[in-house]
Amino acid sequence: MTEVKGAWGRVVWLPTFDSENQVRYDHAKRPFAPVSRDGKLLPEVNQVISIVSKNNLTLETGHVSAEEGLMVIRAAKAAGVSRIVVTHAMNPPIRMSIEQMKQAAAIGAYIEFVYGALIAPGGRKGQFELPEFAAAIRAVGPEHCILSTDLGQAGNPLHPDGLEAFFRGLRSQGFSAEEIGRMSKTNPARLLGLE
């Protein structure tokens, strides 16, 4: 990201599908990228955090565990990282509790909620119901949340259609247009250094 011409590189994700947490969750037998050992972040992770800080980039926690995510957020804040996102915090394999999300937000991270967790290909039920997301967003506070889709897979809606459905659903749960705008435009713009 630091070498993308024109300063267009803005976000660094910790491991997602190759994270140790994801591989263990999947009960898979494939290589993985650990981020911690014995309750401490690995030196390589601290090095990435340092690079993110030095270059004023945004750090996403990827698919690390909830506990690892909190360690990453604390270390990132201590290193001077000002823009941090807990990648789709409620979704497996992360599974942050509302209390953990509130802790992360109190330290300074934004909590991501994704429409893709509410649906499944072929019209099957998603991982969550909209009232669960709404309750979590209310508990954490829209000022600490961002909305996205995590779509792009075959059989799922296109990103714009997913966002429109997500926004419509949140309106039905009592969120104002201003709150949705904050979570979908204002907060993401801040995270990308565009505001």
- Residue 38: what pLDDT? 95
Domain count, the chain: 1
Q: What is the pLDDT of residues 15-71, one digit of tens each?
A: 999 999 999 999 999 999 999 999 999 999 999 999 999 999 999 999 999 999 999
Q: Give the HSE-up count for residue 71: Cα atoms under 13 Å, Cβ half-sphere.
A: 17
CATH number at residue 121: 3.20.20.140
| Domain residue limits at 52 | 5-191
- Residue 121: what pLDDT? 64
Strands 40-41 and 36-37: antiparallel
Cα-based distances in Å from 98 to 45, 81, 133, 135: 25, 23, 10, 9
Cis ω before 93 (30° cut-off from 0): yes
Quote the strand ranges of 98-193, DSSP E: 110-114, 145-148
Q: What is the pLDDT of residues 75-124, one digit of tens each?
A: 999 999 999 999 999 999 999 999 999 999 999 999 999 998 988 765 55
Of the pLDDT bands very low, low, confident and very high (cuts 50, 70, 90), residue 152 is: confident
DSSP three-state, residue 146: strand
